[in-house]
């Protein structure tokens, strides 16, 4: 691919945004390549965990507002935005757990790309901003949905209205990230988490992910019904008996995802 590097190893897919000369700002080609990549991963039983990161010591500086068009006829602005929102939705729909590994800037759509992942691990070099207001824009790439769920409504409004840049420590304090680690430990830490996720029971994890993502949209009774349905599915797979057998035999389980 031209703007995205995809590597697979041991069930872990590592997606590296690869426009370092632009701090990995996303142009039309990158959006298209991310969409194709997310859809491919979503259909793959071999892909068990996903890591998203950026090249050149930066995560993503948002959408490339100065990128040239594709040479075709001008698109309606709403239609153009739908190409970007399709990417956000494809990321959200991935059944696999996704880790954002953030070095350097994660601003605008790049910030919300990170927040759209299930887990966010940041280097001490990381900086985050919902910079849209400073560019005369409103939130996009799911920010209006993600932010209040991550940090509450009033703090979400503070980040959105002012567009301030915050460092990794402040992001951790607010609850935007799961962990902040020294830059030279970031790769090893994320590798460890990704390996643990790749070894986890994929069906059970996928259903837990979906229920947690939907938790604020259902009643407690509906959540309990969903949990009951999920456990019924789990007991019908090979993975639950394998987990019980492995526990009795005092060995790590080997999950097949079926």
CATH code at position 74: 3.90.226.10
Locate the DSSP E strands across the chain. 4-9, 12-17, 49-54, 98-102, 105-107, 119-123, 127-129, 166-167, 179-181
- Asked if 214 and 185 sit in the same domain, the reply is no
| Cβ contact 51:17 at 8 Å | no
Q: Tell me the CATH number at 216.
A: 1.10.12
- Asked if 159 and 217 sit in the same domain, the reply is no
- Asked if 190 and 82 sit in the same domain, the reply is yes
- Asked if 133 and 233 sit in the same domain, the reply is no
The CA-atom distances, in angstroms, between 26 and each of 60, 62, 216 are 8, 6, 30
- Asked if 181 and 245 sit in the same domain, the reply is no
In a domain, 87, yes or no: yes
- Asked if 212 and 108 sit in the same domain, the reply is no
- Asked if 124 and 206 sit in the same domain, the reply is no
Q: Which pLDDT value is given to residue 72?
A: 55
Closest CA to 90 of 137, 41, 44, 123: 41
Q: Which pLDDT value is given to residue 43?
A: 96
pLDDT digits (tens, 9 = 90+) for 164-212: 999 999 999 999 999 999 999 999 999 999 999 999 999 999 999 999 9
Q: CB-based contacts of 162: which residues, under 8 Å, 6+ apart? A: 133
Closest CA to 3 of 16, 18, 15: 18
- Asked if 225 and 98 sit in the same domain, the reply is no
In a domain, 256, yes or no: no
Count Cβ atoms within 10 A of the Cβ of residue 58 and give its class: 0-12 exposed, 13-18 middle, 19 or more buried. buried
Residue where a domain stops, chosen among 181, 198, 215: 198
Distance between alpha carbon 219 and the CA centroid of its chain, in Å?
A: 26
Residue where a domain stops, chosen among 183, 198, 213: 198
In a domain, 99, yes or no: yes
Domain with 227, as residue range(s), is 202-249
- Asked if 38 and 126 sit in the same domain, the reply is yes
Q: Which pLDDT value is given to residue 73?
A: 58
pLDDT of the chain, 258 residues: tens digit per residue: 999 999 999 999 999 999 999 999 999 999 999 999 999 999 999 999 999 999 999 999 999 987 655 555 566 777 778 889 999 999 999 999 999 999 999 999 999 999 999 999 999 999 999 999 999 999 999 999 999 999 999 999 999 999 999 999 999 999 999 999 999 999 999 999 999 999 999 999 999 999 999 999 999 999 999 999 999 999 999 999 999 999 999 999 999 999
**Cα(211)–Cα(228) distance, integer angstroms:** 11
Q: Which pLDDT value is given to residue 65?
A: 82
- Asked if 237 and 126 sit in the same domain, the reply is no
- Asked if 98 and 165 sit in the same domain, the reply is yes
In a domain, 224, yes or no: yes
In a domain, 254, yes or no: no
In a domain, 255, yes or no: no
HSE of 14, CA atoms in CB hemisphere, 13 A: 17
| Cβ contact 181:189 at 8 Å | yes
The CA-atom distances, in angstroms, between 107 and each of 131, 140, 173 are 6, 11, 18
In a domain, 176, yes or no: yes
- CA dihedral sign, ordered 37, 42, 47, 50: positive
**Cα(49)–Cα(86) distance, integer angstroms:** 21
In a domain, 225, yes or no: yes
Neighbours of 117 (CB within 10 A): 22
The whole-model pTM stands at: 0.94
Q: Which pLDDT value is given to residue 77?
A: 75
**Cα(58)–Cα(19) distance, integer angstroms:** 10
End-to-end CA separation in angstroms for the chain: 31
The CA-atom distances, in angstroms, between 177 and each of 23, 180, 200, 205 are 20, 7, 22, 20
- Asked if 78 and 19 sit in the same domain, the reply is yes
Total number of domains constituting the chain: 2
Q: Which pLDDT value is given to residue 66?
A: 77
């Amino acid at each position: 691919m031209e703007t995205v590097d995809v590597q697979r190893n041991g069930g872990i897919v590592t997606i590296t945004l690869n426009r370092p000369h632009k701090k990995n700002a996303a142009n039309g080609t990158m959006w298209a390549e991310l969409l194709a990549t997310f859809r491919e991963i979503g259909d793959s039983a071999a892909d068990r965990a996903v890591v998203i990161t950026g090249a050149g010591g930066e995560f993503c500086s948002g959408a490339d507002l100065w990128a040239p068009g594709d040479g075709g006829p001008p698109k309606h602005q709403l239609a153009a935005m739908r190409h970007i929102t399709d990417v956000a939705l494809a990321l959200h729909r991935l059944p696999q757990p996704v880790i954002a590994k953030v070095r350097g800037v994660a601003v605008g759509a790049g910030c919300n790309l990170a927040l759209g992942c299930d887990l966010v691990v940041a280097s001490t070099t990381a900086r985050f901003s919902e910079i849209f207001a400073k560019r005369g824009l409103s939130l996009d790439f799911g920010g209006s949905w993600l932010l209040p769920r991550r940090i509450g409504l009033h703090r979400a409004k503070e980040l959105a209205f002012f567009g301030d840049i915050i460092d990794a420590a402040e992001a951790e304090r607010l609850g935007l990230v799961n962990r902040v680690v020294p830059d030279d430990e970031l790769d090893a830490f994320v590798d460890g988490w990704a390996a643990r996720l790749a070894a986890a029971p994929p069906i059970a994890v996928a259903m837990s992910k979906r229920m947690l993502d939907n938790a604020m949209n259902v009643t407690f009774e509906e959540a309990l019904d969903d949990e009951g349905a999920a456990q019924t599915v789990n007991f019908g797979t090979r993975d639950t008996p394998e987990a019980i057998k492995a526990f009795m035999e005092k060995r790590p389980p080997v999950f097949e995802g079926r």
